[in-house]
Structure 1
Amino acid sequence: MTVFVRTADRGSLSAAARELEISPALASAAVKRLEGELKLRLFARTTRSLRLTEEGEHYLRHAREALRLLKEGHDALIQGQETLGGTLKISMPSDLGRNMVVGWLDAFQAQYPRVSLQLSISDRVSDMYRQPVDIAIRYGAQEDSSLIALPLAPENRRVLVASPDYIKHHGKLNTLDDLARHNCLRFMLEDVIHDRWSFYREAQSEAEVIHVNGNRSADDADVVRRWAVAGVGIAYKSRLDLSADIRAGRLQVLLPDVLGEPTPLNMLCMHRSQISPTVLQLRDFLRTQCEKA
């Protein structure tokens, strides 16, 4: 398209080729290829002249506008890469943070090198009013209405999983009641063991709460996932945390027709003034990565 517009402006393929620093043969081939795609003659050629056909005149207006829009998009992208920057202090949960978000942030920082990152990776919920954190990536419904929530994975839920080896030796679950005879790997927060797992038969139904037991619990969700992969027992965790293991076959979803507890993932900020162009770009980037996971 650029060759076509430049040729129309200069009235000569050779002149357009010189400006674009390509050979006349390459310029001619580009115009012919465009004519072939459009199934139209754009130029009327003679041995001494080159002029636009009526169709060429009409197409030229659209071609100029298309090139202008492409340039605007390119300039905006370059400007965004140059202007997005600053330091982002981010807290995030251990399993998702270590095994997924850190890699995503590597890619984000490569795209926007002016951005600096300070990460806090822990399953302890950070107090954004006391700790110097700009952004908190958290699971669960937002209870503090004073915080600004930017959704990353609003439809995410927990799933029951076990390794193929565990299933081979202990059998699959047929009902939720079968959890009573299995070793359930439990998460612990603030010394409280989460041993009551909630499930739903339908999206709007009342929760069915199952009390579970097991011989292992940990205050690090990454450890619970690793135990499940090692075949120690059954875990009940965010699907996002487990997506790579499920795809690779290291873990299998149990009772897939039963809906697990909703665990939406959000990016939280204290004030709207903190939602800078960099934060919005990061939100869009992380949301895309969550959709791919």
Structure 2
Amino acid sequence: MTRSHLSQLAVLAAVAQNGSFRGAARELGIAPSAVSHAVSNLESSLGVRLLSRTTRSIAPTEAGARLLERLRPALSEIDRALETAIEARDVPAGNLRLTVPRTAAYLVLAPKLGAFAKAYPDIMLDLVIEDRFTDVVAGGFDAGVRLGESLQRDMIAVRIGPAIRGAVVGAPSYFEKMPRPQHPRDLIQHRCLRFRFSSGVIYRWEFEKDGEEIELPVEGPLVVGEDRLIVQAAMDGAGLAFIFEDYVKDAIADGGLLRVLEDWCPPFDGFHVYYPSRRQMRPALRAFVDFFRAGK
């Protein structure tokens, strides 16, 4: 590999990420013609077409996709090496890229993001919101945030949020027509508002009491991948919602929603930030962990 190949590969990755030469040019701070020239020279030297170009879009070819899949972790390591050099000043700085589920972003991170930005102005926090579990190494992330129960054993995990509970709730208008369920299996007779993960999997409602665990594939009039839409539909009387307690505590307090099956919804482990145990911890990540650590 020549030195020119390294810069050309970085340009190729930017084009693939942005889906256009112009977007890559803006990101890299160079002219679109320079981007096109770099990709063309790379394709010519390798003897294979890496990008499929149409008048409307640019996408990797099969060969380009395979190259980018192998290339992405290497470019991420180069970025980290440069950021480590910057952080030699003993000031947390540089890009910090995290994969975070939507619920953790809203309930745990959002209330403190402004304060974090003020405390660490040299850190550029890049949050990728996705519900599926992500391999932080393969995805080029510094760390991720997930529920403690879903983490792999080879990860270091630090809790950044309190214990959380689920809550089954419905509007008073719904219970004017339907009886309150006394047992999770009573939900089979109810209209339930269901959550779809980004993977396409629909959440099966889970309950536990006195050592008995129940998992139900409930049915109902709505399937959606956004918690706040489910809460609104429940408040409008469309059916029962099974939602994190923090999303509905105010509605429960003011009587807009009524809670049922509370004794079947015990608290469980909250959100953790996780990162590979074999990777040296960057100052920027340490600053993030210390700032959001539970109990602070």
TM-score by length of 1: 0.58
Q: 2:115: which partner in 1?
A: 107
1:10-43 CA-partner distances (Å, limit 9, x unpaired): xxxxxxxxxxxxxxxxxxxxxxxxxxxxxxxxxx
Matched, 1:149 2:151: no
Q: Secondary structure at the match of 2:263?
A: coil
Q: 1:217: which partner in 2?
A: 223
The structure-2 alpha-carbon separation of the partners of 1:99 and 1:208, relative to structure 1 and needing over 3 Å to count, comes to: closer
- Provide the C-alpha distance between the structure 1 equivalents of 2:249 and 2:293, rounded to a whole number of angstroms: 15
Q: 1:188: which partner in 2?
A: 196
Q: 1:177: which partner in 2?
A: 185
The structure-2 alpha-carbon separation of the partners of 1:271 and 1:135, relative to structure 1 and needing over 3 Å to count, comes to: same
Q: 1:270: which partner in 2?
A: 276
Select the residue among 139, 143, 148 that pairs with 1:135.
143
- Shift in Å at residue 261 of structure 1? 7.4
Q: Which amino acid aligns with 1:186?
A: R
Select the residue among 229, 237, 247 that pairs with 2:243.
237
Q: Which amino acid aligns with 2:244?
A: S
* Rg (Cα) greater in structure: 1
Between the two proteins, the alignment pairs up a number of residues equal to 206
- Provide the C-alpha distance between the structure 2 equivalents of 1:284 and 1:228, rounded to a whole number of angstroms: 37
- Shift in Å at residue 207 of structure 1? 0.9
Provide structure 2 residue ranges, at least 5 long, that are not aligned to the other structure: 1-89
- Provide the C-alpha distance between the structure 2 equivalents of 1:216 and 1:240, rounded to a whole number of angstroms: 21
- Say if 1:93 and 1:138, in contact at 8 Å, map to a contact too: yes
- Provide the C-alpha distance between the structure 2 equivalents of 1:260 and 1:165, rounded to a whole number of angstroms: 26
The structure-2 alpha-carbon separation of the partners of 1:222 and 1:148, relative to structure 1 and needing over 3 Å to count, comes to: farther
- Provide the C-alpha distance between the structure 2 equivalents of 1:115 and 1:162, rounded to a whole number of angstroms: 42
- Provide the C-alpha distance between the structure 2 equivalents of 1:83 and 1:249, rounded to a whole number of angstroms: 49
Provide structure 1 residue ranges, at least 5 long, that are not aligned to the other structure: 1-81
- Shift in Å at residue 192 of structure 1? 2.5
Select the residue among 110, 125, 128 that pairs with 1:117.
125
Q: 1:29: which partner in 2?
A: none
The structure-2 alpha-carbon separation of the partners of 1:86 and 1:185, relative to structure 1 and needing over 3 Å to count, comes to: same
TM-score by length of 2: 0.58
**What's the C-alpha RMSD, in Å, of the aligned pairs?**
3.1
Q: 2:260: which partner in 1?
A: 254
Q: 2:42: which partner in 1?
A: none
- Shift in Å at residue 215 of structure 1? 1.9
1:193-220 CA-partner distances (Å, limit 9, x unpaired): 223x221113xx1312334211211234
Q: Which amino acid aligns with 1:184?
A: C
